[in-house]
A and B are shown apart, each in its own frame.
Chain A
């Protein structure tokens, strides 16, 4: 589904990613872990198409198509979803109105009929259960005045509505207490399917107790220095990132 080959990315002329190789097949959940400044967020943002990042070498293909050529909205319509680490508050833009436009943009792209107001609201009610969203959040402006937990739930709710092929969760656990974390993780797990892949980017192992990955990659200094199964996350937890950096040096 997603193939990243030798990806090099700079921000303001400074190299951040220095040769990433990663393959995610349909239905797989991959976790990318790493210390602060290792390039985790850069990887998420480059995949979603945020401006300000320069790809200097390498390629990313998504279902055989060149992802890096696509505008952010086209990536989204093709099936990529980024759950933001810091969801943006957008005053004056109604949550439901925004979501309807997003859902219908995707449907149109896939040659499906746009949903009318009634069908859309039915879908909303069904998907709200996934993350136990409160009704009144729908009537508010996008993320405005939402608590940290509500914002993250809203991200997963949007994911449920948009039904992406590849979901990228950028530090979705940050700022969540354990109860909120469980709700969000349950929501994500309910969206796991043989057709849907996920890339879970996180600093802590904790999230991976709830969203169990097929593979874990450790990112350090802009490179993937170690890959393994879920036990790698537990080892990291025990030894800390210092351990992996030493390993990285040895491996290099």
Chain B
């Protein structure tokens, strides 16, 4: 990481060099990406690379990126990931949830790996497929969903320029998918740092219900960047529980965006857990476009060493009687840095909005740092909105209590850290996910040697 940071500051005028590099990558890859023969898709990718040429990578002068420098990413010359050899099935095991019975789709370096996937049988009214397959079979069908993304940052633009594969999940009205969908994204290390793009399109018809788990992991020690864009459209009364577990290697950066549009009385629940990655940025935005919609955003981030993790969430209450609940917890050790920016927007007319936000952070070392910021913009007068943020250390009385029973300092610290994270995990409805996360949280607690550093 430090070598990369050094390179970033050493390249004046690097922005132009980056643009030229990615223009070259675009030319090189354009013909080999899925749907290359489809005119509108080619144009979409061209729009992407042009937009990237205008925007470049965000800088810390941009308010939304103030606390997150992406200079180490900008300094890299990422190669667009080409289809990689598919690893053996055993390689997948560490990223699965023991006991989980799910429709499983696996992607390697951003491309669908049929050999590792097990979509299983799907009920009528459910369309689950790789995006590449949809683009090959019925590209027009995907056009509206892929064309509508506002390219706000250079990352959005890059994502669109190299749009390749991903997931298509569509449920007809009234269909409830009993088994969850598990999407596993694996990055396989290559000689050069690679750019992997994933696009997930989820669309639920009226009263349809589904649970989707997205996992991101790394095999080997390759560096690179993952960009993931997930769009969700929930029709009236639809319900989605959306899990994300990011456990990529510390040499991999991760920039992701989730855009949700909620219809009347729909429910969207997100559990976003970030444990891995070097620089990780998640933007989650839900717009409550219909009356009485419910949005729940839960999050947990753990970072150690020099990891940097940034969550920007926006809940846009556009219509009356909407409910939102947000709980984010961060655990930071070593020299890690965390950012939480929680924006709540209550539009004029969105009366009877009921919104609660809580951001809680635990710092396990003196050098760890967190910036937590609520952003409430309220333009209606009959609303209930509350927010709170805490930053603290492990409780000395609790530590002593555990140690007085014979539990060593490091283990006691692990217990308390897990205890801190527990209520976020408790909110998840899938046992197998909860159980694996409980174990993961323990193994990710920064150890005593990286915590409590003396001044």
Interface residues, chain A, with chain B CB atoms under 8 Å away: 48-51, 71-73, 75-77, 81-82, 84, 87-88, 90-93, 97-99, 101-102, 105-106, 109, 141-142, 158, 162
Q: Are A101 and B409 in contact (CB under 8 A)?
A: no
Interface segment, one of B20-28, B248-256, B262-270, B420-428: B420-428
Q: Tell me which of A73, A92, A158 contacts B420 (CB under 8 A).
A: A92
Q: Are A76 and B415 in contact (CB under 8 A)?
A: no
Q: Tell me which of A76, A90, A142 contacts B403 (CB under 8 A).
A: A76
Chain B residues with Cβ under 8 A from A81's Cβ? Answer: 404
Q: Are A93 and B416 in contact (CB under 8 A)?
A: yes
Alpha-carbon distance A103/B305, docked complex (angstroms): 33
Q: A91-B419, A93-B418 are in contact. Are A98 and B405 (CB under 8 A)?
A: yes
Q: A50-B400, A72-B400, A88-B398 are in contact. Are A77 and B406 (CB under 8 A)?
A: yes
Q: Which of B389-405 contact A (CB under 8 A)?
A: 395-398, 400-405
Query: Which of B404, B406, B409, B422 has the largest count of A CB atoms less than 10 A from its CB?
Result: B406
Q: A92-B418, A92-B423, A98-B415 are in contact. Are A105 and B408 (CB under 8 A)?
A: yes
Q: Are B416 and A76 in contact (CB under 8 A)?
A: no
Q: Are A88 and B403 in contact (CB under 8 A)?
A: no
Alpha-carbon distance A48/B406, docked complex (angstroms): 11
Closest to A161 in B: B405
Q: Are B404 and A49 in contact (CB under 8 A)?
A: yes
Query: For the complex, is B407 an interface residue (Cβ under 8 Å from A)?
Result: yes
Q: A71-B409, A90-B402 are in contact. Are A101 and B415 (CB under 8 A)?
A: yes
Min C-beta distance of B197 to chain A, whole Å: 37
Q: Are B411 and A101 in contact (CB under 8 A)?
A: yes
Q: A87-B401, A88-B398, A90-B398 are in contact. Are A76 and B406 (CB under 8 A)?
A: yes
Alpha-carbon distance A141/B418, docked complex (angstroms): 12
Q: Are B398 and A106 in contact (CB under 8 A)?
A: no
Alpha-carbon distance A152/B408, docked complex (angstroms): 23
Chain A residues with Cβ under 8 A from B402's Cβ? Answer: 90, 93, 98, 102
Chain A residues with Cβ under 8 A from B396's Cβ? Answer: 51
Q: Are A88 and B401 in contact (CB under 8 A)?
A: yes
Interface residues, chain B, with chain A CB atoms under 8 Å away: 395-398, 400-409, 411-412, 415-416, 418-423
Known: A73-B407, A77-B406. 9 other contacts (CB 8 A): A51-B396, A72-B403, A73-B404, A75-B404, A90-B416, A93-B402, A93-B416, A105-B411, A106-B406
Chain B residues with Cβ under 8 A from A75's Cβ? Answer: 404
Chain A residues with Cβ under 8 A from B406's Cβ? Answer: 73, 76-77, 102, 105-106, 109, 162
Q: Are A84 and B419 in contact (CB under 8 A)?
A: no
Q: Are B407 and A92 in contact (CB under 8 A)?
A: no
Chain A residues with Cβ under 8 A from B412's Cβ? Answer: 73
Alpha-carbon distance A73/B420, docked complex (angstroms): 22
Q: Are B409 and A82 in contact (CB under 8 A)?
A: no
Chain B residues with Cβ under 8 A from A106's Cβ? Answer: 406
Min C-beta distance of A225 to chain B, whole Å: 29
Closest to A78 in B: B406
Min C-beta distance of B55 to chain A, whole Å: 43
Alpha-carbon distance A90/B420, docked complex (angstroms): 9
Min C-beta distance of A144 to chain B, whole Å: 10
Min C-beta distance of B431 to chain A, whole Å: 16
Q: Are A93 and B403 in contact (CB under 8 A)?
A: no
Alpha-carbon distance A229/B148, docked complex (angstroms): 87
Q: Are A102 and B419 in contact (CB under 8 A)?
A: no
Alpha-carbon distance A81/B408, docked complex (angstroms): 15
Chain B residues with Cβ under 8 A from A88's Cβ? Answer: 395, 397-398, 400-401
Query: Which of A49, A90, A102 has the largest count of B CB atoms less than 10 A from its CB?
Result: A90
Closest to A107 in B: B406
Q: Are B401 and A84 in contact (CB under 8 A)?
A: yes
Alpha-carbon distance A32/B405, docked complex (angstroms): 23
- 14 A-B residue pairs with Cβ-Cβ distance under 8 Å, sorted by A, are A48-B404, A50-B400, A72-B404, A73-B412, A76-B406, A82-B404, A84-B401, A84-B404, A90-B416, A91-B419, A92-B423, A98-B407, A99-B405, A102-B406
Chain A residues with Cβ under 8 A from B405's Cβ? Answer: 73, 76, 98-99, 102, 105, 158, 162
Min C-beta distance of B416 to chain A, whole Å: 7
